[in-house]
Each structure stands twice: as C-alpha cells, then as structure tokens.
Structure 1
Amino acid sequence: MTAKKILTQGIVQGVGFRPYVYRLATSLNLNGYVRNLGNVVEIILEGDNIELFIKRLQNELPPIARIDSFKVLDIDESNFDEFKIIESSDSYSGISVIPPDIAICDSCLAEIRNPTDRRYKYPFNACTDCGPRFTVIDSVPYDRDKTSMDEFPLCDDCLIEYQNPYDRRYHGEAICCSDCGPQMAIYKKDKLIDSNNPIKLGAEKLKEGKILAIKGIGGTHLVVDAYNDEAIKELRLRLNRPNQAFAVMSSDLKSVQRYAELSENEIKTISSNKRPIVILKKNKNYNFPESLSPGLHNIGVMLPYSPMHYLLFDEGEIDTYVMTSANIPGEPMMIDNSEIINGISDYSLIHNRKILNRCDDSVIRFRNDELSFIRRSRGYTPEPYTINYDVNDLNILSLGPELDVTFCLATDAIAYPSQHIGNTNKLKTLNFLKESINHMKRITKVCDIDVVACDLHPQFFTTKLAYEFGVDVIPVQHHHAHAVSLANDYKIDEMIVIAADGTGYGDDHTSWGGEILYTDIKSYERMAHLERQKMPGGDLATKYPIRMLLSILNNEELIKNYIKYFKYGEIEIKNIFKQLETGINVGVTTSTGRVLDSVSAALEICNERTYEGEASMKLESAAYYSTTELELPLIFDKNELKTTEILEEVVKLYLKGHKKADIANAAQKTIANGLSELAIQSAEKKGITTIGATGGVFYNEAITNAVKNYIESNDYTFIQHKNTCCGDGSVSLGQAIVAKTKNNQ
C-alpha cells in the first residue's frame, strides 16, 4: 500500500478546503488525516487511489480555494484505519494566506430570504463559501478561537453543522445564527432604540431622508437615499466633502443598468464574489441629482455583498443608496461602536462583532475594457503577488508613499499587499498603518523584518517610520517603484515607461510627474520628461490650479482673462509674478497632473481642488463630450515636451469661443502624444520594443487610449497595469520588488 504526505500552500484555510479533502479521501477509500499547519495544509494519505486523489484535488477545488504550491513526499506507512480531520498546529511556517472577505453566496442568501429557515433575516449568515475572513482573523492557523467570532460560542444547532464534514458550514469559522451570533441594534445619536427589526427601521429612516451609519464587514458606511438631493447635500455638509463623487450601492444588476452603461467585463466584475466598486459611465437615463457625482460623466457603483445589505433593500423601498466610507477625509474608517454612534449620522445601525482589521471597498475602473485597480482592498486583500524575478532571502517591509498608501510584506518570492491604508500625513492613519503591519505579520508569520523599503522623499511620514524599525532602509524613487510594479505584471526585465501623475520626489530633489524612464528593475535612468515648470506657493498651486496656469503661461495679458479667480485680483497676480522672479517658496515640477489641472483652470472647468485629482477628473469628463477634433502645437526641446505652448494655445482657442469639450479633448490628446513620442525616442536609443504606462494620469481612459494608439501605430508593444494599481496603491509592491532583487545576481 502507498503512503504519501502532501503540503499545500495558497488560499487553503477558511475556504472549506479540509472538509473537501475529507470527502474526497473517504470517497476514494483512503486513510490518514488533514490538518492546518500554520500557513500550510498537511495531508497524509494511505491507500491505492492516491494518484487519483492528487489529480482530482487540484481540479475540483471549493469556490474560494486556490493552490499556489503543491508538494508530494513519500513517507512510511502508519496503518491508519480511517481518514480524519485533526486539530490544527502552527509547527510549519510556509507561505500561505488567509482568504479575503467574500460576498454572501447564493445558498446563504436564499436562507435569509426563506421564512421557514432558522436563519431567516439573520444579517450575519455565512458559510465556508462566503463571509468575512481577513477582517475577523487575529492570527493563524485560521480557527475560530483566533477570530473575533471567538466571543460567540456556537449553539447546539450550529455546532452540529460545524462538526459535520459533509455540511457546507463545517469549520466555517464565521458561522452563527440568531441564537448564538452577533446582533444588530439601532441608535438615534447615542440613544438605543428598542426595535425587533433594526434594519427595517433603518430603511424607514433612509426613506425619510435621514443619514444612516451602518457598521458592516470591514468598516462603516454612511448611507442616504441616492435620489434625495437634500439628503446628499446634507451629507456633504457634515462630511466637509463639497464635490467628491459618492459611490452608490444598487439592489441588483437590473437597477444598475437603468442608469449606467456596462460592458460584459464590467458586469462580470461588479457581480463577482469580490463585489468591488466599479466606475461606470452614466447613460442617458441617469436620473440621480447632480450633487451625487458633480461634474463627472461616471459614477462608482457596487452591488450588495453582505446579508445586512440585502436585508436593507428587502426591507425598504429604495433601489439605490449612497454608500460612502464613514471617516473624516484622510482618516481611517470608523469601527468602534461608541465612535460610530457619536458621529455625524442621524441614526446608526451597529453590531457587537469586533472588526479586527479595517478593509475599505475596492475600486476598479475599466479603460477601453481593460481592468485597472484604483483601490485594491476588500475582496482582494491579502491575496499575494508573485515576484517574477530572482530574489534575495531577506524579509522586506515596504511602506509606500504618503498618500493613498498600501504596504507590502515580502518573503521568498511572495509579496503580501495590504488593504488600502490612506493618507499617512494624518496621525490616525499612520497609527492604522502600524497596526495593520503588525496584523499582517501575524497572519503571514513573516515576523522578522530584515529591510524596510520606502519612498525617496525625506519628509514623508512613511520615510520617517522606515528608520524606526532599526534595520537597513532602502529608499526607492517613486516612479521607479511604479514602473517595477507594472513590469512585474508581465515578467519584463527591462522597458521604457511613461510615468505620469501628480507628483513624485525626484533624485534631483524636484517634483517629477511627467517622466520617461528606462528601467531594468534594479535601476532606472531618466530619459525625458515634460517641461520644467515653477510652482508658486508649492501646495497652493495644487489646491488652486489657476496659480499653476499663471506660472506656465508666464503671460500677464493672457492671465488677466482669469482675474476673477484670484481673490485679490490684479494685486495678487502681480505678487505671484514677483514670487516667481524671486524664487521664494517656489518649487519646480514636471508633473503631468499639474499641466492637466492648468488646462482645467484655463477652460474654467475647475479652479479649486477640493479632493485629490478633481480638476483633472472633471477635465476628462468635459472632454468625453467632444464632437470636433482640434489641433494643438506639439513642440520638443531635446528631451522635453514644451507645455507652455500647449497652454497658450488652449487659452487662445477658449477666448476665440471654441467648445470646452473640444479643447479639453485636444489638450489631453496632445499631452498623450507628446509623452508617447518621447517614449518612442527613448526606446530607439535603448533598442527596446516595449513601452509601459503607469501613474495616476493613466486612470484617464482617453489619455490611456491615445498613448496606446500612438505607441502601437509605431510598431511598439504597449503594456498597462492588469493586476496592480496604476496609481500610488502599487508603489509599495514596486518598492518591495526593488528591495528583494537588490544585490541578487
């Protein structure tokens, strides 16, 4: 008789993997056992059908499971007389991962809608195929006593399901029912309301136009009726969020299709068990208030992913709600009950299960039907990336930039990305980063850090934090990190990359953001860039793009056409010109974002930034409605694209009365073509045929498409992010890869 040991790594804990192994082994008359070993599942087999077991195991996995590593070893027989699932151990420290939080499955959804089921209307229904994972686990192996469900001992009925290997709830650590699990309650401010159905009462309050906070799986949402203009404006006022678009949640796909356009890929993604927010184009039937998504041609949409979401729709009369994260802008989501009920909402739906790790909604946008992550978080974190290069044996922690931060833990050739952390210039968010690092270390068992990678910018809080770990620190240039994360998607050793965004600290100590780089992963060379422009007042030129426009034009006669946008009129204009002459508090930038913002200001689309990327996003939306092609000058000076000439022509065309949409479209296309031409010239110098695009500017579909067309029409291969963010969410991955490949030949 044959005997073998199998060690599997991947998403093999908390997904019904062990009961599946049990059922398969017993059906093939095999003896032995299966158990969790920290980050690995160990299977011992004796019998005559082991080869068939191995074949079927890899081809018939449970819905959420994924095997990344599969090792088969010969062992001596032990004469087992049956097959068992035995107690977990943490004696093995291999590479594995806890699965992300998964949307409620069809079976659990049917139960909460079935009046005869004992879990009817129970808002925490889950099984091994769905429900919370990452947000409820404290450490590995993934057993109930290491989760926030440990506070809810199973009742007799749930215990029978939990102990039955043939039940879909076998060792489903989040399972429970109304007799033994978490409960919901509703508050009016800090006063508890006695209610037999808090969710129904919450739906009624939403119908009345009230603001409702809902504590969910990985955080808290603020919710209002998406059709109620007054409620939306009140929410904006209380959040101090005057213009940034709100995401919405609709009850089903049919509701979404009434107001938005969806491709097959968008339908597949928004309906997947990961349930991200997907940025969709508004259609002609869009009938929500302008206050919902002001000045934009698109809107972020998601479908329900938790039982409580479905129950909220079932109990109410509204098919679409605003669902926005309950936090002060730049700070982490609220998860503490006392903080929630004392927040800005009129009413709060809360529960008594602890959220051990915040996890914000993921955000995805399709550009020309190609998926791009804007925020990779719930539903995806902490699924790891494979580093597709030769790596050193160091454990790396990489901390990302300062805004839109994620971090990575990298060991061997695996990088574990964190959920979205946010803006670490806020103390609460910086503390959230530290807490999340410790949490990720526990669940990955990557406890000892050898090297910390960080941004090149010396003043970032993440850079300062890097030096607090007491180990070697490797600073990585911002756009090089962007480029490396893109290259890893394609396993490319060297390429030319267009890195276009708002800002990144350059190795010449100026602000970069319109860069053509050559990279061979370990190093980079700056080949070309946009024209250097002065930034009067530093961040003021970002907040008020009219200041940036003044600087780029450097023309007093032209800028006087915009005098109404300067608070102190002509005096302020003269003072800014004087500031540019003296160089006092004046930065230098090659940022594509600042040029696009200036175009937006020149066309009077947006003259004050109230959220990240506002001016450029509104410019894209204006250009979306263009009907006529216009030409703008494309002038190069050696390795620079001249942007002053572009802005001058934009202003002249606007003053002549050309349509905003047409000028906006022409400006975007001209900048895209200019960057593309610089990239092609650089590729020719290096003898390289692949050109990539990275950075937040490439969330812009029109610019991405223009760059792609220009590069491919010149017979070069164009690549863009497919598994990672083109924005700052992927910087930590790039940093980790640079550190993992350093000094590795």
Structure 2
Amino acid sequence: MTSRERASLEIDGIVQGVGFRPFVYRLALRFGLSGWVRNTGKGVQIEAEGEGEDLLAFSHALRDEAPPLAVIGSVKFEKIAPAGGEGFVIMDSAKAGKGGEISPDCDVCDDCLAEMFDPNNRRYLYPFINCTNCGPRYSIITGIPYDRPATTMAGFAMCDDCLAEYHDPLNRRFHAQPNACPVCGPRLSLVDRDGTPVAGDPLGQALAALCAGRVVAVKGVGGYHLAVDACNEAAVSLLRRRKKRDEKPFAMLAADLDSVRRHVRCSDLEGRLLAGVERPIVLMRKLPQTPIAQLVAPGNGWFGFMLPGNPLQHLLARSFGGPLVMTSGNLSDEPIAYRDDEALRMLSGIADMFLTNDREIHTRTDDSVIRLYRGEPLFLRRSRGYVPRALALPDEQASVLALGAELKATLCLSRGAKGVLSQHIGDLKNAATMASLEESAGHLQRLLEITPEVVAHDLHPDYLSTVYGQGLGLPCVAVQHHHAHMASCMAENGLDGDVIGVILDGTGYGSDGTIWGGEFLVGGYGGFERRGHLAQLRMPGGDAAVKEPYRMALSALYRLHEDQLFRQPLTVCEQVQESDRPLFLKMLEKGINAPLTSSCGRLFDAVSALLGVRHRISYEGQAAIELEALAETGSADEPYPYLVTGEAGEVLDFAPAVVAICTDLAAGRSRADIARAFHRTVAAGIVDVCGRIRTTTGLDRVVLSGGVFQNRLLTEDVADRLAAADFLVYCHRLVPPNDGGLALGQAVIAGRLFGCRGK
C-alpha cells in the first residue's frame, strides 16, 4: 500500500533571480520528493511527487521558508496523476503564460559581505560579488525568463570555479545569473574627465582623490553618483558650483548605522529602513553638533543618509571612514547618467575622475527616498530597491499604460488586479527625460509581457507625456490631475466607493481651465465633483511666480490692499523696484500674465516670502520646505482666523490669516511661532471644510494626497484633527503623495472605465 501523490504548483510573484529554484530543490530533497522545477514567463512551475503528508508539508514550506528576496504572489496547487520516477531536477526555463514579476536590485547579503572582506576568499575585495540572495536584478535584465543570456552579464563567460557553483543546486550561487569573480567577471577602472585611464589601483586612487577634496563620479547599480567628502566644506562647495545646484540638499553615504547616528537622530524604524535590502535614502533630523559641511543641506533641519547598496559602496564607505556626499550623477532637470559614454559627456564638467566598470547597466534606477510620518514610512521617491514590485489594485481591470504628469514622472502598467509603477524618471521638461520615459515604457512592457489596451495621461494638453500618449495609436483617457491623486491614494489603501479627497499640491490643470492645487473632491474611480477649494490667488508673472515666491506674497497682499499694496511696511514689498510697481499692480488688477490658482503650494510660498524665509527658490518646493523647518522650531496653540464661504462649493479663504500674520510681524512675534500658527491654521481649515462636506454627503472617509502632504508637520496635524472629528483617514504608504504616485491613480481610473478586458 502506498499513499504517493503528485501535485502541480504554479507560483507567481518575485520568484525569479532570488534563488527560488534551488530553494525548491533543497526542500524536495528534505521531504524525499521526486519531480522538477522550472522558471516560466510568469513565475515558477513545479511538479512534485511523494507521500501525501510530505507533499503537504512541502507546499507549506514553500511559503513559510521562502528565500529572503522572494515575494510570493499566488500559489495554484492541483493534484495530478502520479508519474513515478526518481530524483528531483531543475529544468531549463520555459515560457508559459504571461506576466512574471522581476526582483528589484538588492544590497549585498551578509554571506557575500563576509566573503568580500575575508583575505582567504577568492572574492576578497571583489566589488561585484553576489549570489542568489543579493545583487543586481532589475537594472541588468534585458528580457525574460530571467537567465544569464537575458542580462548584461551575457558577455562574461564564467570560469570553471564559477561554473561549478552555478551548476551546483546545493550552492548559494546556483543559477545566480550575475555570478562572477575577479578571474572572469566585471572589473573596475578609473579614468579622468577626458576618458584617459588613471594608473594604479582604481579604488585606491579614487579614495585618494576624495581625500584630496576632488569630485569622483562612481558607477553604481542603476547609474552614476557624484561623490565628495561630506565634511569638506570646500569640496561640497565645489560640487555645488560645478553641478549648478545652489541649495538643494545632497544625500550622503555612511558605512553603517553607528556612523549615521553620529550625525542624525535615527530611530529604530529609520535604522531598519536604512539597513533593509532596498537601501533607500532616509531623511532624519540633524543633530546639533556634526562635522558635516553646512552646504550639504543648507536651511534644512534634515539630512538624507543611505547605507551601502552594492559591494563597491561598501568598499568605498569602509575605506574612506567618514560620510560621503553621494548624489545623483546628472545635470539639472535631466535623468541620472547610466551609460558610460553618456556619463563622460554629461559629467566631465563636474567630476575630476570616473570610477567605472565594464558591466553594462540596462535600466537606469535612481535612489529611493523615504521619511517617517506618524511612525510609518512615507515615500518621497519610489525607485531603486522597490521597483518593479507589483502593487495590488482594488479589482480586475483592463491593461493600462499610465504616463503620469510632468513633474517627478513615473509610469504605471496594469494587468488584472496588479499595477507596476516604474522607477523615478524625473521632470519631463526636456528631450532627455522624455526619451527616458519612452525607454522605460517599452522595457517594462517587454519585461512584464503586458500589451496595454488603453493609455491614460494628464488632462493638461501640452505635457510631453500627453503628446506621447496620444501618438501611440491606442484609446486615450485624459485624467484630471487631482482626480488621479485621489484615486492613487484610494487604490493603495484598497478603497472603493465614494470618498472625500483632500488634494493639496503646487500645480494641476483643472477641469475649468484654471490652475488647481487646493482641492476638496467627492467621488471615486468613476468620477468626481469639486466640492471645495482654496480661495484663488493670481500668479503674477505666471510660471515666474513659482520660482519667485515673493510674487505670491504680493498677490495675497493685493487682495487686502489693492492699489495700496506697496504702501505696506513689509520687507517683501521691497522685492519690486519702484519703477516696476505700476506694471506689477496692473498685472494683478487686470489679470495680465497673472492666471488664477487655488494652489496650496503657492499659498505656502506666499507665507514663506511674507516671513522673509525665501523670496526666490533654487529648487522645487524650497520655500515650503524651509517654512516647515522654521515652524518645527516654533510653538503655537491656536490657529489664525480664516473664512469658509460659497454656495456652489466651499471656498476656504486664508485672507484673515494673512492679516493676522502681518499684524504679528509688526508686533515682533517670533517668525517660528508665526510659521507654526500658519500650519495649524491650514490644518484647522481643512478639517472644517471636510466637516461641512460630511454634513451634506454623509461621507466620513477622507484620503490625503498631493505634494503638499510631504510636509510632515501639516500632514500629522490634519490627520490627527480628522481622526479626532471621527473621520476615517487614509494616507499614502506604498507610493509617494507627490506626482511620483500619480500614474497609479490614472491607471485605475482608465482601467475601470474600459472594464476588465486584459489578457
């Protein structure tokens, strides 16, 4: 008598390139099973035969003991007829079905690190060490199934030792596609800005250059970084001048958590985020005394740190000792450089030397950025380490290619009940970034085998992504910007039905043709109604008002004083020369080159300029970021007054708050306290309007989205006040609240509109 049974198992998720097949092989040996395992285009397929109880234990262990980098989606288990046979084998990959998931790039595992720093190991100090539990994945994959010929390692023939590891199912490097060693794998090189090789050990010479205050471009897993000594004020200043990046904070690399904690307040959760395999940049509050150069993050109470995310960064950080600036290797408004010739061309005016290698990067991926909000991680940029992990959608839907908006562009591909957001691409203001978006769209479609049925794009007719989407020959859905924000937050929280959407950002093309940005929406994926907004201000000079916040401050004052604007005893009025004031007043009076906006971002700009924090900016959001930093040092229990008016919809008007701010400035109240009181005022007004909308609709679920909700101080106050008023509050966790998460909302809106037709 025997109870032998056979089962077929199909597993999807991130199960390729993470050591899953050798894991299955070892499990099968442990439970005495015969059969086989292989990769497919969709995931992993297994046939296993043995005693019934062993087969059941095997199926449970597949989930419970999966490799560290594996993310199991679904497991389809089906009993089939026994076939007999002995032994368990790993078969060659087969293409079966569509839609597999690819592992993101990952940090070096502890086993590889131990080998890399072991003088007796053949991979001692080798900067490309990896195994099935770690290393590059998404950035080197050219196609599926994930086998070595479909990666940028295809041109490196393995030596006998590496081949033996690669073919041994009991070895940690069994079918590790990037497997290599100093004999057969990629190699470091150092060149100067002209591309001429530099004599000597590349790593040692690069370290010497960094110690001497020079700028070194370092090729990483997803692109080039620019590195300098973070404690050398002159070196940081040099990098700023050459990169033409006046004040935007630089990220830094530190060797370990102990090193990070010498410079910032790092909580346990922040430490876990830093040390995770994804290796994001984490924003943490500065310590009062730190040797880091002030120019690393001027006017900012936070530092962005990351821990080494690849073997070369481990070698650099440990050998250098102190923190290194490690910022994206690009020119202003352009994507990170990732091809060697491109990096030399783009960065030769910035870097003195290039620490590079001969392993090609197929897909550029910039660093991810996270900060904590209410004790939970909040993405400011979701990219390397997290992409292309799939996100669960609320329901099955049509396959959509969603193209995001103009700033912080990402795209989203959906199929069934899953959506895949691309890596951070950048601001679509030039041909280079637009080309990167097109490349990413094509690569993800090929890699995930998704053929979109519909394209979703922003409502704005002039965005480069809109023009691109309309030229693809597919049905197009134009999605209003703030509706997409609301849907994005709903989707990642698994919500359906109608909600109240509080959407606060800088700029979005409204359904009425004006510039929106402080919106109270009611609706769901199928549509929305604008139930309220912030009182409109004119943007004198149009786009110039974004770069020069003093213009927004004068616009807010004009609503109060009209032609007496420049008679007010405020320093912000001095930003306009006497001779230009009549023209400025006429611009505001007649609306000439002064479009109306309900933008909350522009309101923060206005108050920042009123307080003298920032009259002009050198990077997006700077005025609001520095206003938040100032507010964090102040105290205020009570908000300023505000008005809620309107019959067709609630209009939240902060003009009374502007009057009170001017009064407090004249009375000598602390600017920090004023800034804190302003934050409280905006939070109080938001909750007031939500309460009025609940009264007329009965809705008590509120989603918070838009770039303004990157402001930790405001977001926590709004969420706490809403919760105290018995609202159910939903915020972003899996995607950024800024435009980097917008494509997810577009994808769900368009997918619902077209129904579930996906193959």
Write the mapping of 1:406-555 to structure 2, written as runs, cut at 5 A.
406-446=410-450, 448-493=451-496, 494-554=498-558, 555=561
Task: Report what 1:729 is aligned to.
Answer: 740
Q: Provide the C-alpha distance between the structure 2 equivalents of 1:227 and 1:527, rounded to a whole number of angstroms.
A: 51
Please report how far the alpha carbon of residue 110 of structure 1 lies from its aligned counterpart in structure 2 after TM superposition.
1.0
Q: Provide the C-alpha distance between the structure 2 equivalents of 1:326 and 1:498, rounded to a whole number of angstroms.
A: 36
Q: Provide the C-alpha distance between the structure 2 equivalents of 1:631 and 1:37, rounded to a whole number of angstroms.
A: 59
1:328 aligned to which of 313, 328, 331: 331
Q: Provide the C-alpha distance between the structure 2 equivalents of 1:122 and 1:705, rounded to a whole number of angstroms.
A: 45
Q: Which amino acid aligns with 2:44?
A: V
SS across alignment from 1:166 = coil
Q: TM-score when scaled to structure 1?
A: 0.97
Task: Report what 1:385 is aligned to.
Answer: 391
Task: Report what 1:46 is aligned to.
Answer: 49
Q: Deviations over 1:43-69 (max 9, x none)?
A: 011221211211111111010111111
Please report how far the alpha carbon of residue 302 of structure 1 lies from its aligned counterpart in structure 2 after TM superposition.
0.6
Please report how far the alpha carbon of residue 743 of structure 1 lies from its aligned counterpart in structure 2 after TM superposition.
5.1
Bigger Cα displacement from structure 2, 593-602 vs 689-698: 689-698
Please report how far the alpha carbon of residue 656 of structure 1 lies from its aligned counterpart in structure 2 after TM superposition.
2.2
Q: Provide the C-alpha distance between the structure 2 equivalents of 1:427 and 1:565, rounded to a whole number of angstroms.
A: 38
Q: Provide the C-alpha distance between the structure 2 equivalents of 1:706 and 1:191, rounded to a whole number of angstroms.
A: 53
Q: Provide the C-alpha distance between the structure 1 equivalents of 2:277 and 2:564, rounded to a whole number of angstroms.
A: 57
Are residues 1:199 and 2:203 paired? yes
> Is this contact kept in 2: 1:18–1:35, CA < 8 A?
yes
Q: Deviations over 1:612-643 (max 9, x none)?
A: 10000000001111045464212221311112
SS across alignment from 2:154 = helix
Q: Which amino acid aligns with 2:730?
A: I
Are residues 1:713 and 2:759 paired? no
Q: Deviations over 1:303-335 (max 9, x none)?
A: 11111011112332x320101001112111111
SS across alignment from 1:327 = coil
Q: Provide the C-alpha distance between the structure 2 equivalents of 1:632 and 1:498, rounded to a whole number of angstroms.
A: 20
1:84 aligned to which of 86, 89, 93: 89
- Against the structure 1 CA distance between its residues 77 and 196, is the aligned structure 2 distance closer, same or farther, given a 3 Å change threshold? farther
Bigger Cα displacement from structure 2, 8-17 vs 681-690: 681-690
Aligned alpha-carbon RMSD (Å): 1.5
Bigger Cα displacement from structure 2, 615-624 vs 364-373: 364-373
Q: Provide the C-alpha distance between the structure 2 equivalents of 1:84 and 1:157, rounded to a whole number of angstroms.
A: 22
SS across alignment from 1:742 = helix
Task: Report what 1:360 is aligned to.
Answer: 366
> Is this contact kept in 1: 2:635–2:677, CA < 8 A?
no
Task: Report what 1:587 is aligned to.
Answer: 595
Q: Provide the C-alpha distance between the structure 1 equivalents of 2:537 and 2:58, rounded to a whole number of angstroms.
A: 65
Q: Which amino acid aligns with 2:699?
A: I
Are residues 1:621 and 2:632 paired? no
Q: Which amino acid aligns with 2:594?
A: V
Please report how far the alpha carbon of residue 267 of structure 1 lies from its aligned counterpart in structure 2 after TM superposition.
1.2
Task: Report what 2:16 is aligned to.
Answer: 13
Task: Report what 1:260 is aligned to.
Answer: 264
Q: Provide the C-alpha distance between the structure 1 equivalents of 2:615 and 2:198, rounded to a whole number of angstroms.
A: 49
Q: Provide the C-alpha distance between the structure 2 equivalents of 1:208 and 1:678, rounded to a whole number of angstroms.
A: 57
Please report how far the alpha carbon of residue 39 of structure 1 lies from its aligned counterpart in structure 2 after TM superposition.
1.8
Please report how far the alpha carbon of residue 655 of structure 1 lies from its aligned counterpart in structure 2 after TM superposition.
2.5
SS across alignment from 1:670 = helix
Task: Report what 1:116 is aligned to.
Answer: 120
> Is this contact kept in 2: 1:341–1:347, CA < 8 A?
no
Question: Structure 2: which 5+ runs fail to align?
Answer: none
2:74 aligned to which of 62, 69, 75: 69
SS across alignment from 2:663 = helix
> Is this contact kept in 1: 2:571–2:612, CA < 8 A?
no
> Is this contact kept in 1: 2:639–2:680, CA < 8 A?
no
1:403 aligned to which of 404, 407, 410: 407
Bigger Cα displacement from structure 2, 46-55 vs 135-144: 46-55
Bigger Cα displacement from structure 2, 623-632 vs 113-122: 623-632
Write the mapping of 1:184-223 to structure 2, written as runs, cut at 5 A.
184-223=188-227
Q: Provide the C-alpha distance between the structure 2 equivalents of 1:285 and 1:673, rounded to a whole number of angstroms.
A: 35
Q: Which amino acid aligns with 1:133?
A: R
Q: Which amino acid aligns with 1:451?
A: V
Q: Provide the C-alpha distance between the structure 2 equivalents of 1:220 and 1:297, rounded to a whole number of angstroms.
A: 27
Bigger Cα displacement from structure 2, 335-344 vs 49-58: 335-344
> Is this contact kept in 2: 1:14–1:99, CA < 8 A?
yes
Are residues 1:271 and 2:278 paired? no
Q: Provide the C-alpha distance between the structure 2 equivalents of 1:375 and 1:564, rounded to a whole number of angstroms.
A: 33
Q: Provide the C-alpha distance between the structure 1 equivalents of 2:673 and 2:575, rounded to a whole number of angstroms.
A: 29
Q: Deviations over 1:344-375 (max 9, x none)?
A: 20111011111000000000011231211000
Q: Provide the C-alpha distance between the structure 2 equivalents of 1:306 and 1:234, rounded to a whole number of angstroms.
A: 26
> Is this contact kept in 2: 1:185–1:192, CA < 8 A?
no
Q: Which amino acid aligns with 1:593?
A: G
Task: Report what 2:162 is aligned to.
Answer: 158
Please report how far the alpha carbon of residue 341 of structure 1 lies from its aligned counterpart in structure 2 after TM superposition.
3.2
- Against the structure 1 CA distance between its residues 166 and 251, is the aligned structure 2 distance closer, same or farther, given a 3 Å change threshold? same
Q: Provide the C-alpha distance between the structure 2 equivalents of 1:631 and 1:657, rounded to a whole number of angstroms.
A: 18
Q: Deviations over 1:502-537 (max 9, x none)?
A: 011110111111111112222111111100111111
> Is this contact kept in 1: 2:405–2:457, CA < 8 A?
yes
> Is this contact kept in 1: 2:210–2:216, CA < 8 A?
yes
Q: Provide the C-alpha distance between the structure 1 equivalents of 2:583 and 2:245, rounded to a whole number of angstroms.
A: 31
Q: Provide the C-alpha distance between the structure 2 equivalents of 1:566 and 1:159, rounded to a whole number of angstroms.
A: 72
Q: Deviations over 1:699-740 (max 9, x none)?
A: 111101111122122121222112121111110000001111
Q: Deviations over 1:514-564 (max 9, x none)?
A: 111112222111111100111111101111111111111103555454567
Bigger Cα displacement from structure 2, 590-599 vs 51-60: 51-60
Q: Provide the C-alpha distance between the structure 1 equivalents of 2:25 and 2:198, rounded to a whole number of angstroms.
A: 46
Write the mapping of 1:555-574 to structure 2, written as runs, cut at 5 A.
555=561, 557=564, 559=566, 560-562=568-570, 569-574=577-582
> Is this contact kept in 2: 1:566–1:573, CA < 8 A?
no
Q: Provide the C-alpha distance between the structure 2 equivalents of 1:158 and 1:453, rounded to a whole number of angstroms.
A: 46
SS across alignment from 1:733 = helix
Q: Which amino acid aligns with 2:717?
A: A
Task: Report what 1:303 is aligned to.
Answer: 307
Task: Report what 1:371 is aligned to.
Answer: 377
Question: Structure 1: which 5+ runs fail to align?
Answer: none
> Is this contact kept in 2: 1:377–1:418, CA < 8 A?
yes
Runs of 4+ in 1 over 3 A off after TM superposition: 191-196, 556-568, 627-631
Bigger Cα displacement from structure 2, 97-106 vs 721-730: 721-730
Write the mapping of 1:655-734 to structure 2, written as runs, cut at 5 A.
655-734=666-745
> Is this contact kept in 2: 1:635–1:642, CA < 8 A?
yes
> Is this contact kept in 2: 1:596–1:668, CA < 8 A?
no
> Is this contact kept in 2: 1:22–1:34, CA < 8 A?
yes
1:575 aligned to which of 570, 575, 583: 583
Q: Provide the C-alpha distance between the structure 2 equivalents of 1:61 and 1:371, rounded to a whole number of angstroms.
A: 25
Q: Which amino acid aligns with 2:662?
A: V
SS across alignment from 1:132 = coil
Bigger Cα displacement from structure 2, 193-202 vs 363-372: 193-202
Are residues 1:4 and 2:13 paired? no
Q: Provide the C-alpha distance between the structure 2 equivalents of 1:194 and 1:744, rounded to a whole number of angstroms.
A: 59
1:313 aligned to which of 304, 309, 317: 317
